[in-house]
Amino acid sequence: MKHKIIIDTDPGIDDAMAIAYAVAHPDIELLALTTIFGNVQTHEATRNALALLEHWGVAADVAEGESAPLSMPANEPSYLVHGSNGFGEVDIPASTRTKHALDAADYIIEASKRYPGEITVCAVGPLTNLARLLERDPDVVSRLKAVIVMGGAVHRKGNVTPVAEANFWNDPDAADAVLAARWPLVLAPLDCTMPVVFTPDFMQSVAKENPALGTPLAAMAEFYARFYRSHLGIGGCVPHDVMPLSWLTVPGAFRLQKGALAVVTDGPAIGQTLFQPGGTQSRARCFDGRPDHMVMVDTDPDMFLADYMMVMTRHAG
C-alpha cells in the first residue's frame, strides 16, 4: 500500500529535493503540499509549491497556511540560504493553477476524515500550521497515521543560534505544542540531517539520470552549496527536508532514540530542543505529562544517498 502523504513546506531548495523524492517514489502518493513561512514568506511558498508541481506534472493540491508565528513577530525569511525566490535564483515558471479553497489546517482536517488512519504529514517548515490544526480539531491526533517533523537539534548544536534549529526558532510556541501532542510523531532533527551531504558530483549524477526532476535541483543545489561552503566549509549541501520522506521508505538508514521533547519559547535559548530520554527522570517540569516520541539521532549516509539516487533513477526509467 502506498504512503498517503501531505508535505507541510516552505519551498525552499531542500524542500524541492524532498518534493522531488515524493514525486519519484513508487510507494508514495503525494496528496498535497500545505505551505508555511520560513525559507520564504507564505505567499511565496504557495507560489513555489504550485510552480514545482506544474513544472513536474503533478496533480497534488496546494493549500496555503499561516503567514505568521502563533505569538511572536516573524523572523526574516532565509533568502541568504535559498535565494530571493527560494529556489537559488533558478527560474521555475509560475503556475496557472490556483491554491485550494481550504487553508492548510482545514485541508488536513478534511483529508484526515476522508482517509482516517492513512495519512502521514511530513512537516519540513515551521510548525504553525500543525499547531493551528491541533487548536481547531484536537481529535485529529487519532486520525493521522503519523506526523514526521524535520526540526530541532537534540544532541547537536543549532544552525541559526548556538542551540536552535531554524524551523523551531521560527515558531517555538508552535513547535512546543506539536511535540506535546499525543499523536504518532517522529522527529528528524539536525542530528540525522547534518551527516548527509549532496555533493556537486552527486547532484550532477541525479540530473543526468533524471533530467526532468534532477536538472532544476542540481542548479538550485549550486546556490545552496555556496552557502554551506562559505559558512560551514562543507563541500556540498545538506538535504534536511528529505529525511521525513526517507524515514517512511528506508527506515533502516536511521538510528532512533525515544524520549519526551519540549522547546524553549523565550529568552536567549529560544527555539532550543529539550530532550528527556525514555525511562529517565529529571526535575524539569517541562516534560510533565508529555508522551515519548521517536527521534532520528543519526543516519547512515551511504544508505541514504544510495536510496535517493535509486528512487530518482527508477522514476526516470
- Given this model, what pLDDT does residue 281 score? 87
Domain ranges of the chain: 3-316
Q: Exactly one of 10, 14, 61, 241 is catalytic; which is it?
A: 10
Percent of the chain whose pLDDT exceeds 90: 96
Structure confidence by residue, pLDDT tens digits, 150-194: 999 999 999 999 999 999 999 999 999 999 999 999 999 999 999
Mean pLDDT of the chain: 96
- Given this model, what pLDDT does residue 117 score? 98
* pTM to 2 decimal places: 0.97
Query: CA–CA separation, 256 vs 47, rounded Å?
Result: 35
User: How sure is the predictor about 316, in pLDDT bands with cuts at 50, 70 and 90?
Assistant: low
Query: CA–CA separation, 136 vs 104, rounded Å?
Result: 12
pLDDT at 90 over 60: yes
pLDDT at 317 over 50: no
Q: Exactly one of 3, 82, 240, 315 is catalytic; which is it?
A: 240
- 3-316 maps to CATH 3.30.420.40: no
Catalytic status, residue 240: yes
Mean pLDDT of 43-59: 97
Mean pLDDT of 242-264: 97
User: How sure is the predictor about 315, in pLDDT bands with cuts at 50, 70 and 90?
Assistant: low
